[in-house]
Amino acid sequence: MRLKDKVAVVTGAGSGMGREIAYLFAKEGAKVVAADINETALKETVSHIVEKGQTAIAVVTNVAKEEDIESMINTAVSTYGTLDILVNNAGIMDNFLPAEKVTDEIWDRVFSINVKGVMRAIRKALPIFLEKGKGVIINTASVAGLYGSRAGLTYTSAKHAVIGMTKNVAFQYATKGIRCNAIAPGGVNTNIGTTMSNPDPFGMERATAGINANPRMGESSEIATIALFLATEDSSYVNGVVIAADGGWTAY
Ligand SMILES: NC(=O)c1ccc[n+]([C@@H]2O[C@H](COP(=O)([O-])OP(=O)(O)OC[C@H]3O[C@@H](n4cnc5c(N)ncnc54)[C@H](O)[C@@H]3O)[C@@H](O)[C@H]2O)c1
């Protein structure tokens, strides 16, 4: 029970990595505030946890909305008394749109979810962490945040922003007992493909140019164990880093 009685908010908990993180954190004793825009999927996640006698509550949340972020964090405090761990994991893809085809609409949508949602959740969580002198933030970035062409322009820029944000928060709050780290997954089997309705053929061809070098796809459970490490005192001296989890893809 490595997270016994810790209160953890996990965004994007209705599917993929967020769901597996919610499952693993609950199994390790955390009280999980599961947040997702997809109410049906979210309720499935929470039922699965509660049926096992573990603890979780569902908060339907659109991370692109300030009021939803407010209520997500407020629910953690009103239901479980505090907040210890914030996992900013919700995210969407960008149809592989290359620079010449980026629309303001896709740019704003991806940034509002993948970047602004992360910033707002961190902003809302920090006063709680500062009062306690303790807190953990884990952001799901991507290898697209470390390299230039694993997605379209918008997603690539957004994940680079998440990594910048991770390092900024990590350093600036390091002396306050707060740690902030990111995970950069490679290709993981999840439902994220469903966020692409009409992939751009040129952008997709450029973004997948190195796919043959990918040793294998990963599973969400292989990302959840990294989140667990970052959430516990096992990683007490780890702050401001990006842990790539890609089976060796970017080592090529
Ligand atoms: N799957 C991959 O290969 C991969 C690789 C690198 C990084 N990532 C990142 O991992 C994270 C998790 O994605 P996943 O692969 O598990 O995808 P997924 O689609 O399986 O799960 C993402 C969840 O986020 C939710 N979501 C989407 N928009 C939301 C919003 N506005 N507010 C709240 N919830 C919202 C979805 O409903 C879904 O349940 C994302 O940030 C993604 O960018 C994924």
The answer, yes or no, to whether any atom of ligand 1 lies below 6 A from the CB of 145, is no
The answer, yes or no, to whether any atom of ligand 1 lies below 6 A from the CB of 41, is yes
Confidence class of residue 161 from pLDDT cuts 50, 70 and 90?
Answer: very high
pTM: 0.99
C-alpha pair distances (Å), 9 with each of 25, 31, 165: 10, 9, 18
Active-site residue 155, yes or no?
yes
Mean pLDDT for the stretch of residues 184-208: 97
Angle between helices 220-231 and 16-27 (to 10 degrees): 50
Q: Are 215 and 247 in contact (CB under 8 A)?
A: yes
**Residue nearest (by alpha carbon) to ligand 1 atom 2:** 188
Question: Side-chain half-sphere of 94: how many Cα atoms within 13 Å?
Answer: 32
Phi-psi sector, 233: left (phi>0), alpha (psi -120 to 50), beta: alpha
- The reported pLDDT for the residue numbered 157 is 99
pLDDT (tens digit, 9 = 90+) per residue, 38-95?
999 999 999 999 999 999 999 999 999 999 999 999 999 999 999 999 999 999 999 9
Q: Are 189 and 223 in contact (CB under 8 A)?
A: no
pLDDT (tens digit, 9 = 90+) per residue, 91-138?
999 999 999 999 999 999 999 999 999 999 999 999 999 999 999 999
144 CA: nearest ligand 1 atom? 6
The answer, yes or no, to whether any atom of ligand 1 lies below 6 A from the CB of 90, is yes
The answer, yes or no, to whether any atom of ligand 1 lies below 6 A from the CB of 139, is no
